[in-house]
Amino acid sequence: MSSETKPEEKEEKVGVYICYCGGNISDHVDVEAVRDRVEKIPGVAVARTNMFMCSDPGQELIMEDLRDGIVDRVVVASCAPSLHEMTFRSAISRAGENPYIYEHANIREQVSWVHHGEQATDKATLLVSAATAKAVRLKPLEPIRVNAMSHATIIGGGIAGMRAAVDLADRGIEVALIEKSPFLGGQLALLDKLAPTREKASELVSHLASRVINHASIKVHSCTTVEHFEGYVGNFKVGIKKHPLESNAYKEKMKMLNPVHKSAEAFIPFAGVYSGPVPSAAEELVIDTGVIILATGIKSYTPYQGEYGYGEFPEVITLSDLIRNLAENNNGGSLLEINGRKIKSMAMIHCVGSRQIPGIHPEDASGHLNEYCSRTCCSALLNASNVIRETYPKTRVYEFYRDIRTYGRGQEELYEQASKNRVVFIRFESQEAPEVSKNGYSDEFPLLIKAKDILTFGEEVEVPVDLVVLATGVEPNEISKIVDMMKLPVGPDRFLLEVHPKLRPVELPVSGIFLAGTCQAPMDAGEACSGASGAAVKAAALLSRGYVELDPFVADVDIQKCNGTGACVEACLSDGALELVEMEIDGQKVQRAKVTPAFCLGCGACVAVCPENAIDVNGWTLKQYEAMVNAIVAE
Amino acid sequence: MTSMGISKGKILILATETCAYPGANSVGQAHSSYPTNTFILRVRAPVLFPEYFYLDCFKKGISGIIIMSCGEECPYEGAYHALAKRIDRVYKMMREKNLDIRRLRLTSICTVCNRAFLKEVNDMSVLIEEIGPPEVNAPTSG
Amino acid sequence: MESNPVLNVDALVVGGGIAGLQAAIDLADQNFKVAVVEKDASIGGKMIRLSKVFPTLDCSSCITTPKMAAAAHHENITILTYCNLNSLKRDGNHLMASIIQKPRYVDPEKCIGCRRCEYDCPVYVSDEEQGGFSARKAVYIPFSNAIPQIAIVDTEHCMLCGKCEKACPTSAIDYFQKPIYFTIKAKTAVLATGFELTTLEDKPQYGLGKIPNVIDALQMERLLAPHGPYNRVLRPLDGMEPDSVAYVQCAGSRDKSMGVSYCSRVCCMYAIKQAMLLSGSLPLADITIYYMDIRAFGKGYEQFYQNAKAMGIEFVKAKVAALDAGENGSVTVRYEAQDGVGVTMANHDLVVLSLGMIPGWNPKGVCPVSSASDKFIKTIQPKISPTLTDMDGVFTAGAAAGPKDIVDTITEAGAAAMEASKYLIELQKGHAA
């Protein structure tokens, strides 16, 4: 339990290692001066510098000093701890020492990048000195090992959720797949022929869905929502609720199921794969699970009333509408026919609900702008244009765009093909968007589009059309309930925010919760599957050992000091983390506080209220903070 | 150690690990300058600090303290509420000791709140330049 | 060949760039044994050579080095640098890879990376790791944060003066070192062979690399890097601080005349990133980006682009027709402005060519895996299993399977590791049955 030796009594030997960061730090902080000053601090055994402390030779410096017994506490002064705290802790482990004898001083993000001149060097010195003061008071800690269930819960039965489910199940992990509708396939099921290969979305969805439905290790919970969440990595509890059909919005689509063959695995166009019987009554269940993968996906942006004439003119439709029309009335002919109208001329408008710019585009009801690019619409639109030009050669197609973003493999070819197919491209600036109005000149074409075409030096063009198709972007699905329950970070774009886009792209700060697919950002099917498999591999690695190691930063009671007031128990914010237990001390039965580490959040709410200073958070003690403050005010 | 270049009153910033501390790093990534008399301590949750911690800091010569919490985004349910109540008590104690309560600020700073971060540190810096170092006479516990 | 030493592993990863390292780590974390084969003398690939990366502007080295170190120190990963893959073939349930480790002329067991050989070597050679802007020695450690930190002798330039041999405290220099032939026997493989920049040999209009002060984007990465050749941005010809810098987009992409009809996917973003970094280091310089379409499609990319516009970086919609040497070392850019008056000319102090990506490796003759018409490795189920190749048990990730940015590469590397681990589990089951 708590250390019997007071830190002051033993001579701690702190090694301080200061990084140049190849100029990132040393351009503004005199690293050698910092080294010279901190070397004189009592308790500092050695202070060294390196061009890249995080590099192999840099880490080797530290490990050598540890192995030689020169130091037994380590302070590294470098970039933000989020980048390299783990790097140095693991170097300490490799040197055979306890990784928690480590303290980090952030002298890049919080010094060299924001301060200049001598004061930067002075501040860096004080921060290193404060870190040293803490390091002296650090004690070795052991990670808390908890058993991890070989079970994953995946929320969302779209392409990403199904991909992750199959991956994990094939890997030998039990999976619960939760889907709010009666169908698997998500947004992909609402598409037809995919860009750029024209593969059928229905076939891809059916392929994965049949693997999901028939896999012995996957349990599909359709018509199900997540209602409750608790626990910690390896041992989560997810409360779910199954809804009977009466209470959900999928009745219409269910009617399309042949009542005779109302069986799983049937693909319903523009709905998905029916995954089995709909619950007849509401039912609540709790799933015990080791990890959670969020695959909650996206929805299509809905244009506001009057946006490019949407909701105002019946001839203005979205790309989703067009795709469905093309799929359902795929007869060919000289002219495309939509809603009974022969289309001689049509306009496609890009970036509707995407790449919105403050001051130019109006915010939505909740004050949001979709400033991001929706990534998939350019190719989807070009694909549709090509299909139309190739199937209905008399239908003229105009594309109004800002930038054509055919970035992926085979996509530039779509763009080239569209030019060959004599699709007419008109390029507009965001501040001079095309205007859709009623055509006052002739009855032949109901609508008129006016735009300034940059491709012809800003010439004003007017295009009379029968149909306007809006390439609507995507928005994340509404999952605020899950976000609140699991305390997930959301970016300014309203998509879920990963820990770091390159270091930990599919992870969330809550250990054991991962991201898959478009809940993170707009993606096409392949990218969503890539993200899903990427999340699955992290989950598999986490569960493959059968246990998880948790940070040891939990409350710790000094039984000698505790006199059982129970103030900490009252202040505790986590059910089950602290309780008063009866024990015998010096032959007397007394009440003392006891911590259950797996439930302790390590917030320290108990620390502030203890009248005896008998409880502290390991690795973040009050005494350490007081010592840091002393170092900062030291003259 | 010498007093060195940072002669102005020192500001202690208690920045939460999940919100304000990465927020301060985000200011760094944007290379936005702010006064050097600011010392950011990474905390899991500021609810850890008892009342006397703040008063002791002033006694030791810290001129201003900004608690940069997660506010509504707090990962520890109920911690912010407990913190706010505690800070009210600290204010009361500060008044009793004739300490300008503006020296202690409770704010919430998110991971990308660069402007809010800069405003808080600049405001506090201006304030303590104006009112000078704290004078704490009455002893405190702890 | 039968007598060659054999290394037995579960998975072989070809390529030690960020894709290969991530795939290796994700496999090793599941307790599979992995061998990473890298052709260069250090792992880290292209990413370790970059300055900062979009859209977070994190220092690239700071993100790559932890992954390099994590892979290098992983108990389940063996890293083999300076190795060529001679062949990769299936043999029943196994893949057999025949490998040649090229001689470094330095004994890797003895070298301690102290660089004394480097200090004493009298030969200066243009340093490709610094864009050719500064010099290295004929015996050298590839770059400061290279893994492993083992010196290598550049035999093309070495004069055999013997100074390094004398300087070496561990007698590691071995002028007679021979190539080592060995075999890796694996159950599955991930091809993460990355990319190279397009060459300008087919593009006389851009000067074939002969116009002074026309550099490529990777060279600019070095100029911008915190530990770059000059520690600041200077024009290579005369050391002048440029007042105007121009980027030529799609220089080597979306251009059939160069045989690269596809979009290279990263050039828009890296040009914008470099422009932003430049406006930090050269606050008074005018920066112009000549582009056809800005393809800022990834998470946070469009916002990054809009920020660059707001910072005053000029975006000119135009395809650059030709570059010529101008007066006083300047470069004349001839372009057809889409929103101007036809063919226009502009002078810039420094011009950066945003070169595209071509495959870093051609499997032909080495491995029976197919390439697609774009010459990158063909993937057979791009929509639902994007890392599958047409060779059973062989997967691919990153730029080997088409141009890709770092974010997409790292995610895809995880996906390839997932496929490979499923394949391994399936094999285990087969044996058990």
Would you call B140 an interface residue with chain A, using a CB distance cutoff of 8 Å?
no
Of the candidates A114, A117, A633, the beta carbon closest to that of B10 is on: A633
**Mean pLDDT along residues A181-185:** 94
- pLDDT for residue C243: 96
What are the C-alpha distances in Å from B45 to residues A106, B18, B69, B70?
A: 19, 9, 7, 9
Of the candidates A110, A127, A492, the beta carbon closest to that of B112 is on: A492
SS3 A617: strand
Quick check: is B88 in a domain?
A: yes
Residue C146 phi/psi, 5° resolution? -65, 145
Give the architecture (CATH level 2) of C103-177: 2-Layer Sandwich (3.30)
Whole-number average pLDDT of chain A: 92
Residue B141 has pLDDT above 60, yes or no: no
Shortest distance, CA B20 to any CA of chain C (angstroms): 18
Share of chain A above pLDDT 90, in %: 78
For tokens 């084969």, name the residue.
C37
- pLDDT for residue A232: 85
Q: What is d(CA C300, CA C56) in angstroms, rounded to the nearest whole number?
A: 9
Ramachandran area for residue C249 (φ above 0: left; ψ -120 to 50: alpha; else beta):
beta
Quick check: is B89 in a domain?
A: yes
Dihedral angle of Cα A312, A313, A315, A321, to the nearest 10 degrees? 10
Residue C345 has pLDDT above 50, yes or no: yes
Query: Which domains does chain A carry?
Result: 1-142 (3.40.50), 151-297+477-548 (3.50.50.60), 303-474 (3.50.50.60), 554-617 (3.30.70.20)
Q: What is d(CA C43, CA C82) in angstroms, rounded to the nearest whole number?
A: 9
For tokens 């409770």, name the residue.
B106
pLDDT bucket at C429, cuts 50 / 70 / 90: confident
Q: Does C198-357 match C6-101+179-194+360-432 at the fold level?
A: yes
Q: Looking at beta carbons, which residues of chain B come within 8 Å of C280? A: 31
pLDDT bucket at C341, cuts 50 / 70 / 90: low
Beta-carbon separation of A607 and B48 below 8 A: yes
Nearest to A201 by CA among A159, A257, A253, A263: A159
Share of chain C above pLDDT 70, in %: 97
pLDDT in tens, B76-113: 878 999 999 999 999 999 999 999 999 999 999 887 77
Would you call A334 an interface residue with chain B, using a CB distance cutoff of 8 Å?
no
Of the candidates A56, A458, A505, the beta carbon closest to that of C69 is on: A56
Would you call A130 an interface residue with chain B, using a CB distance cutoff of 8 Å?
yes
SS3 C256: helix
Quick check: is B15 in a domain?
A: yes
Q: Which domain CATH number covers B103? A: 3.40.50
Chains in contact with B via at least 3 Cβ–Cβ pairs below 8 Å: A, C
- Is residue C349 within 8 A of residue C235, CB to CB? The reply is yes
Q: Looking at beta carbons, which residues of chain B come within 8 Å of A121? A: 5
Q: Please, what sign has the CA dihedral across residues C331, C334, C335, C339?
A: positive
Residue A351 has pLDDT above 60, yes or no: yes
SS3 C377: strand
Q: How many domains does chain B fold into?
A: 1
Beta-carbon separation of C339 and A454 below 8 A: yes
What are the C-alpha distances in Å from A619 to residues A2, A102, A137?
A: 12, 9, 9
For chain A, the residue count is 635
- pLDDT for residue C342: 74
Of the candidates A21, A86, A530, the beta carbon closest to that of C411 is on: A530
Q: Looking at beta carbons, which residues of chain A come within 8 Å of C383? A: 194, 197, 199, 204, 524-526, 529
Cβ partners under 8 Å of residue A347, min gap 6: A397, A398, A399, A400, A434, A436, A447, A449, A463, A465, A467, A468, A469
SS3 A222: coil
Q: Looking at beta carbons, which residues of chain B come within 8 Å of A130? A: 39, 41
Residue A19 has pLDDT above 90, yes or no: yes
State both tokens at C203: 């593009």
Would you call A628 an interface residue with chain B, using a CB distance cutoff of 8 Å?
yes
Residue A227 has pLDDT above 50, yes or no: yes
Of the candidates B1, B22, B53, the beta carbon closest to that of A82 is on: B22
Q: Which of A15-19, A325-329, A352-356 has the lowest mean pLDDT?
A: A325-329
Strand bridging mode A447-453 / A459-465? antiparallel
Cβ partners under 8 Å of residue C88, min gap 6: C12, C14, C95, C96, C97, C98, C189, C366, C367, C394
Q: What is the number of CB-based contacts under 8 A between chain A and chain B?
A: 139
Out of A2-6, B71-75, C310-314, C340-344, give the one with best mean pLDDT: C310-314
pLDDT bucket at B142, cuts 50 / 70 / 90: very low
Which residue range is the domain that position B83 belongs to? 10-131
Q: Which of B3, B52, B76, B136 to mutate to test the interface with A (most CBs of A within 10 A)?
A: B76
State both tokens at A143: 């990670």
Would you call B7 an interface residue with chain A, using a CB distance cutoff of 8 Å?
no
Nearest to C67 by CA among C412, C419, C410: C410
**Mean pLDDT along residues A311-340:** 91
**Mean pLDDT along residues C27-37:** 97
Q: Looking at beta carbons, which residues of chain A come within 8 Å of B47? A: 603-605, 608
ipTM associated with this complex: 0.95
Shortest distance, CA C58 to any CA of chain B (angstroms): 8
Beta-carbon separation of B79 and A605 below 8 A: yes
For residue B30, the chain C residue with the least C-alpha distance is: C57
pLDDT bucket at A246, cuts 50 / 70 / 90: low
- Is residue C101 within 8 A of residue C85, CB to CB? The reply is no
Residue B25 has pLDDT above 70, yes or no: yes
Share of chain B above pLDDT 90, in %: 65
Shortest distance, CA C287 to any CA of chain B (angstroms): 20
Cβ partners under 8 Å of residue A266, min gap 6: A257, A258, A273, A274
What are the C-alpha distances in Å from A511 to residues A93, A504, C25?
A: 21, 12, 18
Shortest distance, CA B20 to any CA of chain A (angstroms): 12
DSSP tag of C42: S
Residue A4 has pLDDT above 90, yes or no: no
Q: Which of A9-18, A396-405, B46-55, C129-138 has the lowest mean pLDDT?
A: A9-18
Q: Which CATH superfamily is domain C6-101+179-194+360-432 in?
A: FAD/NAD(P)-binding domain (3.50.50.60)
One-letter amino acid of B34: Y
Cβ partners under 8 Å of residue A603, min gap 6: A573, A574, A617, B44, B45, B47, B48, B76, B79
Dihedral angle of Cα A601, A606, A612, A618, to the nearest 10 degrees? 20
Residue A556 has pLDDT above 50, yes or no: yes
Share of chain A above pLDDT 70, in %: 96
> What pTM did the predictor assign?
0.84
CA C130 to chain centre: 13
Quick check: is B142 in a domain?
A: no
Higher pLDDT, A98 or A54: A98
Give me the residues paired with residue C120 across strands.
none
Residue A80 phi/psi, 5° resolution? -60, 140
Chains in contact with A via at least 3 Cβ–Cβ pairs below 8 Å: B, C
Domain C198-357: CATH class, spelled out:
alpha beta
pLDDT bucket at C73, cuts 50 / 70 / 90: confident
CA A584 to chain centre: 49
Give me the residues paired with residue A225 across strands.
A241
Would you call A327 an interface residue with chain B, using a CB distance cutoff of 8 Å?
no
For residue A604, the chain B residue with the least C-alpha distance is: B48
Kindly list the domain boundaries of chain C, sorted by start residue: 6-101+179-194+360-432, 103-177, 198-357
Whole-number average pLDDT of chain C: 93
- In A22-41, the residues whose Cβ lies within 8 Å of chain B are 37, 41
What are the C-alpha distances in Å from A282 to residues A8, A205, A250, C30?
A: 62, 28, 16, 39
Residue C135 has pLDDT above 80, yes or no: yes
Residue A1 has pLDDT above 60, yes or no: no
